[in-house]
């Protein structure tokens, strides 16, 4: 997903390179990522039924280099393995199998991983 892409993301496409991270929010059923594209538009990416997220080494550069959706990744395996050890969730969106990983790489080398069942993007006003 080096340019406009909705590969694995429903709804609006996102121009990832040189976009910036505006806000992250973790709720019960959704992990949301607010992104400001280089051209000035803002998009809200909803990671529905998320089962894990990780960001290590976050510094002060929030400029996005690229984003990729993975269907096979060690972080997905770890999240699903952990979920299978717990009692069943009350969330219909959260599932212990069939998740994918959104990997957002920043220009400072930091990466944000969000493992979720579904990814949806919408334009914000």
Assign 3-class secondary structure to 12-37.
Answer: CCEECCCCEEEEEEECCCEEEEEEEC
Task: Quote the pLDDT of residue 64.
Answer: 96
Average per-residue pLDDT for the chain: 90
| pTM of the predicted model as reported, rounded to 2 decimal places | 0.90
Which residues does 14 contact at the CB level (< 8 Å), separation at least 6? 1, 4, 5, 6, 35, 37, 43, 45, 67, 121
Task: Quote the pLDDT of residue 5.
Answer: 45
Residue 55, both tokens: 């960001």
Which residues does 72 contact at the CB level (< 8 Å), separation at least 6? none
Nearest CA-CA partner of 101 in 4, 2, 3, 7: 7
Q: What is the pLDDT of residues 50-102, one digit of tens each?
A: 999 999 887 777 999 999 999 999 999 999 999 888 887 778 788 878 999 99
Which residues does 24 contact at the CB level (< 8 Å), separation at least 6? 31, 32, 33, 34, 112
Taking only Cα atoms into account, the Rg of the chain, rounded to an integer number of angstroms, comes to 14
């Amino acid at each position: 997903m080096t340019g406009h892409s909705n590969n694995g993301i429903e709804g609006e496409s996102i121009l990832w390179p040189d976009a910036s991270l505006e806000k992250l929010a973790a709720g019960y059923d959704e992990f949301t990522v607010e992104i400001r594209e280089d051209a000035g538009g803002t998009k809200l990416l909803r990671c529905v039924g998320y089962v894990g997220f990780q960001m290590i080494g976050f510094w002060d550069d929030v400029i996005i280099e690229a984003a990729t959706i993975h269907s096979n990744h060690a972080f997905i395996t770890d999240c699903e393995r952990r979920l299978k050890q717990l009692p069943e969730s009350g969330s219909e969106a959260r599932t212990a199998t069939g998740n994918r990983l959104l990997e957002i790489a920043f220009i400072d080398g930091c990466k944000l991983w969000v493992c979720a069942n579904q990814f949806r993007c919408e334009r914000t006003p």
